[in-house]
Amino acid sequence: HMLRDARATARLGACAALAKLATRLGAEHLRLAETLPFLAEALEDVSEAVREEATRLVDVLSEVSGEDVTQFM
């Protein structure tokens, strides 16, 4: 899973790509049950940029799904 890649740039790109997919396809296509554990890790990443992008992804997923996704993490 790209959110666990050793490179911060890969983790950052994975968060950004998931945000775009969620916006275009809707949250139901992202398999949130499988994605949220990785996202929870990204929110605590050593890279500030990854943490910021993960926070943005949480906001996008919450908006698209209509629910606060943090309650599932």
Cα Rg of the chain (Å, integer) = 11
pLDDT tens digits, one per residue of 11-70? 999 999 999 999 999 877 878 888 899 899 999 999 999 999 999 999 999 999 899 999
Q: Do 30 and 67 form a contact (C-beta atoms < 8 A)? A: no
Is 90 exceeded by the pLDDT of residue 4? no
Is 80 exceeded by the pLDDT of residue 73? yes
Cα distance between residue 66 and residue 45, in whole Å: 26
Residues constituting the chain:
73
What pLDDT, on the 0 to 100 scale, is given for residue 2?
Answer: 65
